[in-house]
Amino acid sequence: MDLFSQIENPEREEILALRKELEQANYQYYVLNAPTMSDYDFDQKLRRLQDLEALYPDMFDLNSPTQHVGSDLIEAKGERLKVKGTEKGKGKGFAQVAHRYPMLSLANTYSQEEIEDWLRKLPANVEIVCELKYDGLSISLWYENGTLTKALTRGDGVKGDNVIDNIKTIAAIPQHMQALESEVQIPDFVELRGEVLLSWESFERLNKEREAQGDALFANPRNAASGTLKLQDPNEVARRGLDCYLYYMLGEELPATKHYDRLQIAKQWGFPISDAVKVCHSLEEVMAYIHYWDTERKNLPVATDGIVLKVNDLSTQEELGYTAKSPRWAIAYKFPAEKQLTRLNAITYQVGRTGVVTPVANLEPVQLSGTIVQRATLHNEDFIRQLDIREGDMVWVEKGGEIIPKIVSVEPRTKSQEPRPISNDRTDEGDKSLLLAPYSIFPKNCPECGTPLVRVEGEAAWRCPNEASCPPQIKGKMEHFVSRKAMNIDGLGSETIDLLYSQGLLHNIADIYDLKQDDIARQERLGEKSAQNMLAGIEASKQVPWARVLFALGIRMVGETTAKKIARRFPSIDQLQWANVEQLTAIDDVGEQIAKNIIAYFNDLSNLEIINRLREAGVQMESQEEEQAPQSDILQGKSIVVSGVFSHHSRDEYKAMIEAHGGKNVGSVSKKTSFILAGENMGPEKRKKAESLGVEILTEEQFLELIKN
Checking if the pLDDT of 436 tops 80, the result is: no
Residue 80 maps to a domain: no
Bigger pLDDT: 413 or 125? 125
Q: Is the pTM of this model over 0.75?
A: no
* 158 and 30 in a common domain: no
* 103 and 126 in a common domain: yes
Checking if the pLDDT of 404 tops 90, the result is: no
Contact yes or no for 291/236 (Cβ under 8 A): no
Checking if the pLDDT of 62 tops 80, the result is: no
* 35 and 10 in a common domain: yes
Residue 515 maps to a domain: yes
Q: How confident is the prediction for the chain on average, in pLDDT?
A: 83
Residue 54 maps to a domain: yes
Residue 458 maps to a domain: no
Return the minimum-mean-pLDDT range out of 75-89, 358-372, 507-521.
75-89
Checking if the pLDDT of 406 tops 90, the result is: no
Residue 85 maps to a domain: no
First-residue to last-residue Cα distance in the chain: 31
CB atoms within 10 A of CB 642: 20
Residue 591 maps to a domain: yes
User: Which pairs from 341-344 meet CB under 8 Å and 24+ separation?
Assistant: 341/366, 341/394, 341/395, 341/396, 341/397, 341/411, 342/366, 342/373, 342/394, 342/395, 342/397, 343/392, 343/393, 343/394, 343/395, 344/389, 344/390, 344/391, 344/392, 344/393, 344/394, 344/395, 344/407
Here the CATH number for the domain that contains residue 311 is 3.30.470.30
Q: Is 278 marked active-site?
A: no
Here the CATH number for the domain that contains residue 586 is 1.10.150.20
Instruction: Provide the pLDDT for residue 93.
Output: 65
* Pairwise CA distance, residues 449 & 441, whole Å: 19
Checking if the pLDDT of 109 tops 80, the result is: yes
Q: Residue 395 — φ and ψ, nearest 5°?
A: -125, 150
* Average pLDDT rounded to a whole number, residues 548-552: 94
Here the CATH number for the domain that contains residue 358 is 2.40.50.140
Instruction: Provide the pLDDT for residue 433.
Output: 38
Q: Using the 3D structure, point to which of 310, 334, 358 is the last residue of a domain.
A: 334
Q: Using the 3D structure, point to which of 577, 597, 624 is the last residue of a domain.
A: 624
* 267 and 413 in a common domain: no
Checking if the pLDDT of 434 tops 50, the result is: no
Residue 427 maps to a domain: yes
pLDDT, tens digit, 9 for 90 and up, residues 457-482: 777 789 999 988 899 999 999 999 99
Checking if the pLDDT of 426 tops 60, the result is: no
* 207 and 254 in a common domain: yes
Residue 78 maps to a domain: no
Checking if the pLDDT of 76 tops 50, the result is: no
* 391 and 498 in a common domain: no
* 541 and 602 in a common domain: yes
Checking if the pLDDT of 612 tops 90, the result is: yes
DSSP 143: E
Instruction: Provide the pLDDT for residue 514.
Output: 95
Q: Using the 3D structure, point to which of 59, 87, 105 is the last residue of a domain.
A: 59
What is the number of structural domains in the chain? 5
Checking if the pLDDT of 288 tops 90, the result is: yes
Q: Which of 378-392, 412-426, 540-554, 650-664 has the highest mean pLDDT?
A: 540-554
Here the CATH number for the domain that contains residue 26 is 1.10.287.610
Question: Where does the pLDDT of residue 92 fall: very low under 50, low under 70, confident under 90, or very high at 90 and above?
Answer: very low
* 601 and 484 in a common domain: yes
Catalytic one among 84, 88, 90, 133?
133
Buried b (16+ CB within 10 A) or exposed e, 104-129: bebbbbbeeeebeebbeeeeeeeebb
Burial class (CB in 10 A: 0-12, 13-18, 19+), 616: exposed
Checking if the pLDDT of 75 tops 60, the result is: no
Q: At 144, is the secondary structure helix, strand, or coil?
A: strand
Instruction: Provide the pLDDT for residue 94.
Output: 83
Instruction: Provide the pLDDT for residue 82.
Output: 36
* 318 and 183 in a common domain: yes
Question: Where does the pLDDT of residue 182 fall: very low under 50, low under 70, confident under 90, or very high at 90 and above?
Answer: low
* 223 and 114 in a common domain: yes
Bigger pLDDT: 682 or 612? 612
307, β-bridge pairs:
132, 333
* 535 and 432 in a common domain: no
* 284 and 361 in a common domain: no
Q: What is the percentage of the chain residues whose pLDDT exceeds 90?
A: 40
What residue numbers bound the domain in which 28 lies? 4-59
Checking if the pLDDT of 115 tops 90, the result is: yes
* Pairwise CA distance, residues 541 & 555, whole Å: 19
* Pairwise CA distance, residues 106 & 117, whole Å: 16
pLDDT, tens digit, 9 for 90 and up, residues 9-45: 778 888 888 888 888 777 776 666 566 677 777 778 8
* Average pLDDT rounded to a whole number, residues 127-150: 94
Question: Where does the pLDDT of residue 260 fall: very low under 50, low under 70, confident under 90, or very high at 90 and above?
Answer: very high
Q: Which of 14-28, 126-140, 330-344 has the highest mean pLDDT?
A: 126-140
Checking if the pLDDT of 708 tops 50, the result is: yes
| Angle 308-314-316 from CA coordinates, rounded to 5° | 90
59, β-bridge pairs:
none
